[in-house]
Structure 1
Amino acid sequence: MITDQTGALAIYGAHVMRGFPLGMEYATGSVGTATETYTTYTVDGCEIHVYFRDDQSNPETTATVARELIEVEGVSILVGTVSSGATASLQELAAQNEVVLIVAPAAANDITGVGFNEYTFRTSRNNYQDAVNMCEYMATEYGTFVQIAPDYAFGQGSAAAFRDACTLFGGEFVADDIFAPADTTDFTAYMDSVLAASDAGANAFIVTWAGGGFVPLIQAASDSGVLDEMAMASGFVDNAVMPIFFGNAIGSTSGILYHYTLPDNEINDWLVEETLARYSVPPDLFDADAMNAAILLVEAIKATSGDTTAAALIAAMEGMEFEGPKGTIYIRPEDHVAIQDMYIATLTNITDPEAKFFEYVATTRPDVPCLLPEALQERCGELPIGSLSGQ
């Protein structure tokens, strides 16, 4: 398990470091036994050794620790990571070494799109699932848009997905998409572009961002008057950030990939109970992704009777369905996208001490296009290719 424990996205890595061990415990039915180097879980008489590594969301560090795990520790399966850019490093190494990779919680379309290889699976959603979940509501509520996103795979994929999905549902983008470097701290110039789009008729600006840059971005939107001129259309985020940036959005409705109060199933109940008992906080945005990664890993090992060769695991995981805290997860065999429930909720408060911020509105299960590169598009079968319309 490779995730960000001390870097720019460590806030999300903390979710993974809770959810994955709990998922291993739930799926194996065994309490992990920790040594100095790994934690052991047992299922059907088979020992599973789990190593945890910090990649700080740095692609070079990701590659270094992944090589060490493969070449020194001899791992059969990689799981990770938070950053979509760092995940690309994992994909390359997984293919080179014929080791299966389960991606959680990185969301870039490219992971199971242009960067696809047969060794890469995911339990995280992709950008398109976010967009389809939100755009049916947003296109009706706001109508016209401009959007800003970070200038790397996650942001570019998100912008393309929102443009496609919101247009399909009747929305219109009145300006070109705005991209800023992922390490931007001063968004003043970018807010000038957003205001220009407002003058051109945009009623809302769609924000896709991950990590610390969200803080100065929203501050710049407030300082520049953007929030006085137009609505911010953004998916709801993690429990720590919600009170900071959505104080003026009480009563608004939007999408979220997971909040612990929204799914209604026994596995989510277990995750909530155990997370509260052990960590004194409720599960957050990516705890479910991490738990699902552990469940997929264990279910695959059980299906192969302990055969962890890539060929055996790939055959078992393609088309697999399993139950997790978000309900039924289906690993689409064509491109390894994880079809899963997403949620629409209304924000009712930002002060609840247990982060019970939302009123449930609906569960969606977005169908998304196959984004494989041209050389692999025969795998797509009857799925729409490249966009929701397939055109």
Structure 2
Amino acid sequence: MKLYKVFSLIMVASLLLAACAPAVTQVATEAPAVVPTEVPPTAVPTEVPPTAVPTEVPTAAPTEIPPFTCAEPIKIGLITDVTGALAIYGVMILRSFMLGMEFATGAPGSAGPAFDFTATQQNNFMLGDCEIQVFVRDDASTPDTTATVARELIDVEKVNILVGTVSSGATATLQGIALENKIPLIVAPAAANDITGVNFNEYTFRTSRNNYQDAMNECLYLTKQYKTFVQIAPDYAFGRGSAAAFRDACTLGGGSFSADDIFAPLDTTDFTPYMEQVLSSGAESYIVTWAGGGFVPLMQAATDLGVSEQMALGATFIDNVLMPIWYGNAVGSTNGILYHYSAPKNAANDFLMAEDKARYGVMPDLFDADGMNAAILAIEAIKTTNGDVNGDALVAVMEGMTFEGPKGTVYIRPEDHVAIQDMFILTLVDLTDPDANFYEYVETTRPEPPCLLPETLKDRCGDLPYGSLAADQ
């Protein structure tokens, strides 16, 4: 009996110990048939269920994409106005092109944070392991000088791409030289229709808008405010192209012109006889197309003769420097502008605003977007050809190219190389802001102008309206 009691106590104790002991994880009785002999440390988790163990292990790590390379430095020649009549615009291109190169390549150039033309005329950038050299030349907006510096860039520096220039007349000279040497030319900021119209050649591209895009953008709102117009413009390609475009676009919008277009020589200093013609037209609004210093005496004559009191100024908003001088009585008006830094919302524009202010002490001005877009287009083309800078190879990829810049998406129309881009309608609310934040945003437009190629190239235009906007009606 005592033995039975002892045995019973042992059994109870055993059951209690079994109940209090931790559960035992069940282990498979058979190991997997295939077990990796060696697994890279990064491929093995710290605790993996049997079903999660890979049956095969890669024998090599993934191949890294090599950095962009080129057999020899790629060279870009930038021609702009540093000392001439249009230098106010040339300086915008100079700084914004360099910032565009930095934005597109991902690193600053060799010339330092702020490019100083008086200190150096070269700035080198690295795109991966490929050096891209930018050579800068001043043409003072003089066609003869443009030709001289362009040939020096091609013959001596051996540039692969040309960029420029400010004057539409000088740009026409540059186009011929680019064609002769089969070197792509990216036009910025010249706006004449003729550049991608009667003077078109397959090596000419542009990031600047043309006269028609200005007119289509401006007439959208101008014809809602006024019905009769007269216009004055400089007597050369830019002015005549602009006059034709405004007449077409504003007429299509329901407006009419009270007199023939008035043209004055580009070097005019006394605009009195021309503004007398404007005043005698009886129009509600006078449209002004002018670039550079001539705008100042033109507007002075308008003030002296009382034109500004009797007729509304129908002109696109202009650069930040001249706006406070001549648009003081236009506060509250709504007009078009090709670019103002306050309108677009994108990463490229954010970069341009921040760096222009930090390095040059100003906010981006009227043509800063054109310069930055020219740099982005050049780099995108180089990347797309994998560094092949043969002229024909670059032309092939630039036609129809789309890229993102400070104005948003830019599309290089393959038919005529016009840059289809956003433009803006703004209301002028203040002219005293120290950062030239003058406007209130109204609307973004995206004008698609007619194809203006010469008759011999009309077939390139395809289904685009040819010659005028009315051709599509």
Residue in 2 that maps onto 1:362: 443
How far apart are residue 153 of structure 1 and its match? Answer: 0.4
Secondary structure, counterpart of 1:363 in structure 2: strand
Amino acid aligned to 1:115: N
Relative distance call for 1:79 and 1:173 in structure 2 (3 A) is same
Equivalent residue number for residue 57 of structure 1: 141
How far the C-alpha of 1:389 sits from its partner, in A, is 2.2
What residue in structure 1 maps to residue 313 of structure 2? 232
Cα RMSD between the aligned structures?
0.9
Q: Cα distance, 1:373 vs. partner?
A: 0.1
Q: Which residue of 2 aligns with 1:115?
A: 199
C-alpha distance after superposition, 1:71-120 (max 9, x if no partner): 11100110000000000010000001111100000000000000000000
CA shift digits 1:271-305 (9 cap, x unpaired): 10011110111010001100000000000000000
1:27 has 2:104 as partner = yes
Query: What is the 5 A alignment of 1:157-196?
Result: 157-196=241-280
Following the alignment from structure 2 to structure 1, what is the Cα–Cα distance between the partners of residues 389 and 351?
28
Say if 2:177 is the partner of 1:93: yes
- Structure 1: distance between partners of 2:80 and 2:330: 32
Cα 1:245–1:36 shift into 2, 3 Å: closer
**In 2, are the aligned partners of 1:139 and 1:169 still within 8 Å (CA)?**
yes
| Structure 1 residues without counterparts, runs of 5 or longer | none
After TM superposition, list the pairs within 5 Å mapping 1:238-253 onto structure 2: 238-253=319-334
Q: Is the 8 A contact 2:143 2:173 kept in 1?
A: yes
**Other structure's SS at 2:330 match:** coil
Q: Does 1:378 align with 2:459?
A: yes
Q: Distance in 2 between matches of 1:274 and 1:192?
A: 45
2:93 is the counterpart of 1:12: no
Partner letter of residue 163 of structure 1? Answer: R
**What TM-score comes out, normalization by structure 2 length?**
0.81
Pairing 1:139-288 to 2, within 5 Å after superposition: 139-198=223-282, 202-288=283-369
Amino acid at match of 1:144: T
Match of 1:38 among 122, 125, 137: 122
Whole-angstrom distance in 1 between the partners of 2:208 and 2:258: 31
Task: Please tell me whether residue 3 in structure 1 is matched to residue 80 in structure 2.
Answer: yes
Give the distance between the partners of 1:365 and 1:71, measured in 2 at CA.
39
Residue equivalent to 2:189: 105
CA distance, structure 1, for counterparts of residue 361 and residue 80 of structure 2 = 22
AA in 2 matched with 1:314: V
Contact 2:101/2:376 (<8 A) preserved: yes
Q: How many residues align?
A: 388
Q: What is the rounded CA distance, in whole Å, between the counterparts of 1:308 and 1:183 in structure 2?
A: 39
Q: Is the 8 A contact 2:121 2:137 kept in 1?
A: no
Q: C-alpha distance in 1, partners of 2:249/2:305?
A: 29
Q: Which secondary structure does the structure 2 equivalent of 1:285 belong to?
A: coil
Q: Percent identity over the alignment?
A: 68
Q: Which amino acid aligns with 1:159?
A: A
2-structure distance, mates of 1:16, 1:160: 27
CA contact (8 A) 2:356 2:362 kept: yes
- Distance between the aligned counterparts of 1:213 and 1:37, measured in 2? 29
1:44–1:302 CA contact under 8 A, matched in 2: no
Please report how far the alpha carbon of residue 45 of structure 1 lies from its aligned counterpart in structure 2 after TM superposition.
Answer: 2.2
SS at match of 1:116: coil
CA deviations over 1:201-240 (Å, ceiling 9, x no partner)? x100000000000000000001011112111100000000
2:213 maps to which of 123, 129, 134: 129
Cα distance in 1 for residues equivalent to 2:133 and 2:446: 33
Aligned mate of 1:81, from 145, 165, 173:
165
Give 4+ residue runs of structure 1 displaced > 3 Å after superposition. 34-37
Q: Check conservation: 1:339, 1:366, Cα contact below 8 A.
A: yes
Question: What amino acid maps onto 1:56 in structure 2?
Answer: A
The CA distance in 2 between the partners of 1:92 and 1:197, in whole Å, is 40
Q: Which whole-Å CA distance do the structure 1 matches of 2:254 and 2:389 have between them?
A: 47
Displacement of 1:390 after TM fit?
Answer: 1.6
Displacement after TM superposition at 1:37 (Å):
5.3
- How far apart are 1:36 and its partner, in Å? 5.1
Cα-to-partner distance string for 1:54-74 (whole Å, 9 max, x where unaligned) = 000000000000000001110
Secondary structure, counterpart of 2:329 in structure 1 = coil
- Match for 2:450: what amino acid? P
Greater relative contact order, per chain length (Cα 8 Å cut-off, separation 6+): 1
Query: Which residue of the partner structure matches residue 391 of structure 2?
Result: 310
The structural deviation recorded for 1:44 is: 3.4
Give the structure 2 partner of residue 68 of structure 1: 152
SS in 2 for 1:53: strand
Distance 2:347 2:152 in 1: 37
Residue 42 of structure 1 aligns to a residue whose secondary structure is: strand
Give, in whole Å, the separation in 1 of the partners of 2:122 and 2:323: 35
Q: 1:51–1:270: structure 2 CA closer, same or farther, 3 Å change rule?
A: same
Please give the alpha-carbon distance, in whole angstroms, between the structure 1 residues aligned to 2:308 and 2:134: 46
In structure 2, how many angstroms separate the alpha carbons of the residues matched to 1:221 and 1:280? 33
Q: Which has the larger radius of gyration?
A: 2
For 1:112, the aligned partner's letter is: T
Aligned to 2:415: 334
1-side partners of 2:431 and 2:197: how far apart? 36
Is the 8 Å Cα contact of residues 145 and 171 (structure 1) preserved in structure 2? yes
Residue 115 of structure 2: aligned partner: none
Aligned-partner SS, 2:456: helix
CA distance in 2, matches of 1:331, 1:385: 18
